Chain A
Amino acid sequence: MLRHVAGKLGGAVAGVAAVVVLGFFLFRMIPGDPTVTMTRGRQVDEAQIAELRALHGYDRPIVEQFGKYVGGLLRGDMGTSLFYRRTVAELIGERVGPTLLLVGTSTLIAVTLGLWLGIRGAWRRDSLFDRTSTGVALLGWAMPAFWLGMLLSMVTGDLFPSGGMRFSSTPPGFWPQALDVAHHMVLPSLTLIAVVYAQYQLVMRSSLLEEMNADYLTTARAKGLRDDQVRRRHAVPNALLPTVTLVFLHIGLVVTGAITVETVYSWPGLGLLTYEALAGPDLPLLQGTFVVLAGSVIVMNVLADLLYQVLDPRVRAS
């Protein structure tokens, strides 16, 4: 067991290391160096390029640059944003909170909603409820998040604020501020939920359907348990296990949704920061958000893997 955990943690370290390496070489992939990307489509002369190169250390040997980049990351230094003229770490630090709030709330609601719909649908397979809810889920899944976001904000009009996280006119103090943020978060989180809940529902549904004809359910019924108890105590816990892994495996999709939803609603999180970094392009900033977003998704997945060990008695025993 301990060896298994150590193996998983080793895998996580290797995964994050791969993200770090990818983050470095990705932005140096094209012939020349990042200054080519940064100055694309602008009038610059040789001297300006040389200055830019020296400023960012691109004139140093690649090994030295890589060493400096990794050393910086270990100290929490991800360079300086070209556009904001502030350190990338500081900018990311400011934006993590809103993203965690938005993604966390939406995922929680989407998982609850998806699992509930999936269980109900599978238990009454091919009923009107099952067919309608599967259809609606597929429809939500087919929609680009940003499009749904724009539609929602057009349909609701002035009912909800269409951008940002709080009004500057809101009085200080915990409750007024919290209410203001919640008011701003309604549309972004609704959009995110609508786009991601389908996967949870469909996975839960098919994984419960797999269990439906299992012998232990017949036994449970033969014992005289009510239908509801058979479902809650026997079928659902078993079907939940594969679902849990998939929920975490799909966390990357939620991050993807967050990038466009934050862009549409100007929600001041990491997604909007990524979008802002595209405009320059602000390569140090983009590199920072890439490493942080990809790295945290990988860490989340390893955590899920470990959680799975705790949850599944079959794996725990072996």
Chain B
Amino acid sequence: MSRKVIQRSIIIIIFALLILMPLAVIVFLSVGQQWHYPRLFPGSLDWGYYFRQLTTNVELLSSLRASLLLAGGTIILTLVIAYPTAIALAYYTFPGKRLFSVCVYLPLIVPGIALLTNIDFMMIKYSLTGTFFGVICVHTLFCLPYAVKLLVDNLVLLKNRYEVTGRNLGASPWQTFFKITLPLSKPGLQGALMMTYIVSMTQYLATLMVGNGNYLTLSVRMFPFTQEGKYQIAAVYGVTFMLVTLVPLFILDSLLNRQRKRG
């Protein structure tokens, strides 16, 4: 083995440890028994504990359901807003376009707490607090910058070359959209969908404030447990959270890779 390979392996191992160790701690926390100081590892592992929680813990299951429902709603709302916006930003020139494209990032620039307290105020005014629509609106607000960015990058890459070609060959504007623009945006849409899913799942403060406690998602429930020192149940939530975010991500990624290999 050459020195280069050894060096690279060491770097990879260090990074793997940095990422995997905290994950391992969470997994051990969720299934470990009698893990007290000064023990380095849990006294015993009860893998069944996690799965028993997953199938019997009503609170956990309702949180999972709430998280997934909100994420689903957010994905739909985000894509409905982000996709036309991205098309406008990528294909058209209009006055104030540069300013507009900067404004898309505002939700990430303005401090979250300032934004949220004011949004909560507005939501109360329009009696949207505690409603499903109100919560997905706030989630959408934080997802839009990522979704728009991913979609614009994808569209700009292709320019409107293929749309122009389609129109010249006789396609109507709608035919062009459904047969050309939409299929070619697939990588961008998949990226935006995944990012929206993750951002929505991780929203804590927004869900709590605007949701009025009606939507106790995984991240909302998890937080108090860690503060109260109930680490095992918090870890169960944590592992569930990781599974429902990582597994779809993995599936989508491998699907995309397979498509690329075809090409």
The answer on A and B forming one complex is no
